[in-house]
Amino acid sequence: MRKMEKAKAICLVEKKEKPGMEYAFWQTYRNLGNKEWKLTYGSNARVNICPSCGKIGFHFNAEKGEYSCGAPETVTARELGKRILNHVRKRLETGGAAEIQCF
């Protein structure tokens, strides 16, 4: 298993299905190199998901160069570990597969 500190990013993927469609939502934690990981959100659904807060909407203010909802959250490696375990537990409890990508 790869050491967590060596991974550039870890992505927790959640899939939601509607008849004929499957959407994926994901949280990407990027290694900032100082034991902190920056969280951003993404989705392949046809809605704008704010990368900073994960809610539907477009919150980036290009003039100010910042998000109106605040800067993306950063977490410690320990907190990220907890979230990964939580992700796996929730997926298993709901009968789904836990998908975690490491790159």
User: Which C-beta is closer to Zn ion: that of 10 or that of 49?
Assistant: 49
User: Which C-beta is closer to Zn ion: that of 68 or that of 100?
Assistant: 68
Q: How far apart are CA 26 and CA 39, in angstroms?
A: 10
Shortest separation between residue 29's beta carbon and Zn ion, angstroms: 17
Shortest separation between residue 98's beta carbon and Zn ion, angstroms: 26
Shortest separation between residue 58's beta carbon and Zn ion, angstroms: 8
E strands, 32-98, where? 36-43, 60-61, 66-67, 74-76
Query: 28 is written with which tokens?
Result: 């990407």
User: Which C-beta is closer to Zn ion: that of 7 or that of 59?
Assistant: 59
Q: CA quadruple 84, 88, 93, 97: dihedral positive or negative? A: positive
Residues that bind Zn ion (CB under 5 A): 50, 52-53, 59, 69
Residue type at position 29 = Y
Shortest separation between residue 72's beta carbon and Zn ion, angstroms: 9
